[in-house]
């Protein structure tokens, strides 16, 4: 990597250290300026790879979850978003590599998707969650209209222009008219990922990544067609985002939310994906708002992916905040660099091995290393994506490295009957609550820091769902569901960012309440009572401390979310 490029990459480090970041994080959103209209249309396929990354990478996210949905009558649903990303990727490959086979493959898929539009006038989705059959999405029509424009640029066939126009006229309607544009009372417009005629400003989810898919696609269509109505829609939608943007962030700006209603904590791969979207939009439209939001994302990622060093050994936890039982689906590549910006070594994460082997990256630090660049990728080095650069954090005292065991007392309520010190029998028919409640009173408080983790060792003879509530000494609470207990010695590895309302805690965290559900889908097969024991509570000052504890206790089980 060129030294000038390295210097640019180090901007994130300086941002963390200079007062100007306060301005970025706290300034009020500005009214959006109407973007400069293009003097002549910009072909869809003429942009840099950075613009297309959001389409390619989200396709990877959805495929990893193996989403398969059917209409109520059992016919297969052709997902226009997944098909659209495959089509754009094929067209982009054809354009970059002069590959006619890629063009043909993309056109074949596009014609199949357009046939659905001919038949139904949209791409109505099957029932999903609270949304009935027939809902539509900001991730559908804009992407297929974009594909149709690209198909016209490739083939010159007028039918694709006609499809583009029909789809654009459909998608510029409101939710009440069967599209995804939700007018807001302040005069702006939200692009709803989940939309149906009964969508309102009050019941809208406000999912950000789906909104940004629609926003980017609409802007690229506007640039390709010089359609003033598309530009006007883009302007109103961008202003809506600017007004709502502060609500997506924790008060501390340590982390953010996936959607606003209800507030839902974002997972790291969506945080990374939104960063790619914001970078792409800043490339298309040099509004500083996009760059500032991307910077906030990178700062947050820096906080949850710190690299620690003990002597010449490094430790990085990939299954970190906010949910330490979840190893992110995007892989990571780390490049070490020296004082001159030269690369001193490269390491890559992997998808094989035990949870411990995949969750932690560890090894020897190359000589003369000063810091590291963090990249994200889906397995292809050619597509690795720059996240941030940061200094290595040296651990020089045992206080930062060794787990701190906390003394405690316990008590049981409802279906949790105490039978010995810290041991409980879970009875299925003692109370009407269908849960056993274990309260842990701590002699020392849990550490409240973005760097620290907590651990609760709990042995269970059965699988069971759990719900955890933290209490401070002023009576404030934070709460979350956790992965089910499994048979054996579980480690509930916890981080503050994964708790709802954690920022409401003002005092020391001196009490933990664990609810173990006795009548759920997880354990309904077994009707007998079972034993649960609290074996220990720990403060981990750093993720390296958590590494040391897990390495020394290979019998501990973290019930991984895959």
| Average pLDDT of the segment spanning 178-200 | 97
| Average pLDDT of the segment spanning 205-211 | 98
CB contact set of 169 (below 8 Å; sequence gap of 6+): none
Are 450 and 508 contained in the same domain? yes
Distance CA 182, CA 137 (A): 11
Q: Which residue has the higher pLDDT, 220 or 38?
A: 220
Average pLDDT over the chain, rounded to an integer? 89
- What is the reported pLDDT for 521? 67
CB contact set of 280 (below 8 Å; sequence gap of 6+): 50, 51, 52, 53, 54, 216
> Is there a domain that residue 25 lies in?
no
Burial-class residue 71 by CB neighbours within 10 Å (0-12, 13-18, 19+): middle
Question: Is residue 454 scored above 90 in pLDDT?
Answer: yes
Which pLDDT band, with edges at 50, 70 and 90, does 36 fall under? low
CATH of the domain at 327: 2.60.40
Are 347 and 481 contained in the same domain? no
Q: H or E segment at 420?
A: strand 416-420
Are 129 and 163 contained in the same domain? yes
> Is there a domain that residue 195 lies in?
yes
CATH of the domain at 539: 2.60.120.260
- 251, 271, 299 - which closes a domain: 299
> Is there a domain that residue 131 lies in?
yes
Helix then strand then coil, % of the chain, to nearest 5: 40, 25, 35
- 246, 270, 299 - which closes a domain: 299
Q: Which residue has the higher pLDDT, 75 or 139?
A: 139
Are 228 and 100 contained in the same domain? yes
Distance CA 267, CA 562 (A): 13
Report DSSP letters for 117-155, one per residue: HHHHSS-PBPPBTTBPTTBB-TTTHHHHHHHHHHHHHHH
Which pLDDT band, with edges at 50, 70 and 90, does 71 fall under? very low
CATH of the domain at 259: 1.50.10
- What is the reported pLDDT for 391? 96
Question: Is residue 129 scored above 90 in pLDDT?
Answer: no
Are 407 and 474 contained in the same domain? yes
Are 404 and 445 contained in the same domain? yes
> Is there a domain that residue 282 lies in?
yes
Q: Which of 59-73, 300-314, 377-391, 467-481 has the lowest average pLDDT?
A: 59-73
The answer to whether 299 and 21 are in contact (CB under 8 A) is yes
Q: How many domains does the chain contain in total?
A: 3
pLDDT in tens, 467-520: 999 999 999 999 999 999 999 999 999 999 999 999 999 999 999 999 999 877
Question: Is residue 523 scored above 90 in pLDDT?
Answer: no
> Is there a domain that residue 290 lies in?
yes
Dihedral sign from CA coordinates of 339, 341, 342, 343: positive
- What is the reported pLDDT for 555? 94
Which among 201, 207, 136 has a CA at the least distance from the CA of 173? 136
> Is there a domain that residue 404 lies in?
yes
pLDDT in tens, 130-181: 888 999 999 999 999 999 999 999 999 999 999 999 999 999 999 999 999 9
Distance CA 104, CA 21 (A): 48
Are 125 and 231 contained in the same domain? yes
Are 340 and 467 contained in the same domain? no
Distance CA 134, CA 196 (A): 7
- What is the reported pLDDT for 15? 40
pLDDT in tens, 435-451: 999 999 999 999 989 99
Which pLDDT band, with edges at 50, 70 and 90, does 65 fall under? very low
Question: Is residue 524 scored above 90 in pLDDT?
Answer: no
Both tokens assigned to 298: 């990178």
Are 238 and 379 contained in the same domain? no
Which pLDDT band, with edges at 50, 70 and 90, does 56 fall under? confident
Please state the three-class secondary structure of 358-382 as a single string: HHEEEEECCCCCCEEEEEEECCCHH
In the chain, pLDDT over 90 holds for what percent of residues?
A: 78
Both tokens assigned to 495: 């981080």
Are 193 and 93 contained in the same domain? yes
> Is there a domain that residue 145 lies in?
yes
Dihedral (C-alpha) 16, 20, 22, 26: value to the nearest 10 degrees? -130
- 359, 394, 429 - which closes a domain: 394
Which pLDDT band, with edges at 50, 70 and 90, does 21 fall under? very low
Are 497 and 367 contained in the same domain? no
Domain that holds residue 423: 400-552
> Is there a domain that residue 18 lies in?
no
pTM for the model stands at 0.91
- What is the reported pLDDT for 31? 52
Are 248 and 129 contained in the same domain? yes
- What is the reported pLDDT for 174? 98
């Amino acid at each position: 990597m060129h030294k000038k490029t390295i210097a640019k990459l180090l901007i994130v480090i300086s941002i963390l250290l200079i007062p100007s970041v306060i301005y970025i994080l706290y300034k009020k959103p500005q009214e959006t300026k109407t973007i400069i209209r293009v003097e002549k249309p910009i072909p869809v396929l003429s942009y840099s790879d950075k613009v297309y990354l959001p389409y390619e990478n989200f396709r990877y996210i959805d495929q990893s979850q193996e989403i398969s949905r059917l209409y109520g009558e059992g016919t297969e649903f052709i997902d226009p978003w997944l098909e659209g990303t495959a089509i754009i990727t094929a067209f982009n490959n054809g354009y970059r590599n002069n590959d006619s086979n890629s063009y043909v493959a993309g056109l074949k898929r596009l014609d199949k998707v357009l046939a659905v539009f001919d038949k139904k006038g949209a791409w109505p989705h099957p029932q999903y969650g609270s949304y009935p059959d027939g809902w539509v999405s900001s991730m559908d029509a804009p992407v297929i209209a974009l594909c149709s424009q690209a198909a016209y640029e490739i083939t010159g066939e007028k039918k694709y222009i006609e499809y583009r126009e029909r789809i654009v006229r459909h998608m510029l309607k409101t939710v009440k008219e069967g599209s995804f544009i939700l007018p807001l009372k302040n005069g702006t417009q939200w692009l709803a990922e989940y939309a149906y005629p009964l969508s309102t400003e009050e019941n809208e989810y406000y999912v950000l990544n789906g909104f940004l898919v629609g926003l980017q696609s609409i802007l690229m269509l506007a640039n390709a067609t010089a359609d003033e109505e598309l530009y006007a829609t883009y302007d109103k939608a961008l202003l809506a985002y600017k007004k709502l943007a502060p609500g997506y962030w924790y008060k501390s700006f340590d982390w953010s939310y996936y959607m606003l209603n209800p507030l839902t904590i974002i997972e790291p791969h969506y945080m990374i994906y939104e960063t790619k979207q914001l970078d792409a939009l800043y490339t298309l439209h040099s509004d500083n708002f996009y760059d500032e939001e991307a910077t906030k994302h990178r700062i947050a990622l820096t906080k949850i992916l710190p690299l620690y060093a003990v002597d010449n050994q490094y430790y990085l936890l990939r299954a970190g905040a906010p949910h330490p039982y979840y190893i992110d689906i995007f892989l990571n590549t780390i490049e070490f660099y020296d004082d001159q910006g030269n690369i001193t070594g490269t390491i890559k994460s992997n998808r094989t091995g035990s949870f411990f082997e995949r969750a932690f990256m560890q090894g020897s630090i190359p000589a003369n290393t000063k810091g590291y660049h963090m990249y994200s990728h889906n397995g292809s080095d050619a597509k690795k994506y720059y996240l941030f650069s940061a200094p290595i954090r040296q651990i020089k005292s045992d206080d930062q490295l060794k787990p701190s065991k906390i003394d405690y007392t316990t008590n049981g309520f409802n279906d949790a009957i105490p039978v010995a010190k810290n041991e409980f029998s879970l009875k299925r028919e003692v109370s009407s609550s269908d849960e056993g409640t274990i309260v842990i009173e701590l002699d020392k408080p849990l550490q409240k820091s973005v760097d620290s983790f907590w651990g609760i060792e709990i042995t269970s003879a059965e699988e069971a769902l759990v719900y955890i509530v933290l209490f401070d000494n002023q009576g404030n609470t934070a709460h979350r569901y956790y992965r089910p207990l499994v048979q054996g010695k579980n480690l509930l590895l916890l981080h503050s960012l994964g708790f709802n309302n954690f920022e409401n805690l003002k005092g020391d965290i001196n009490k933990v309440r664990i609810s173990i559900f006795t009548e759920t889908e997880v354990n309904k097969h077994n009707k007998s009572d079972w034993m649960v024991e609290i074996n220990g509570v720990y403060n981990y000052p750093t993720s390296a401390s958590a590494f040391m504890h897990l390495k020394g206790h290979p019998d501990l089980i973290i019930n991984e979310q895959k």
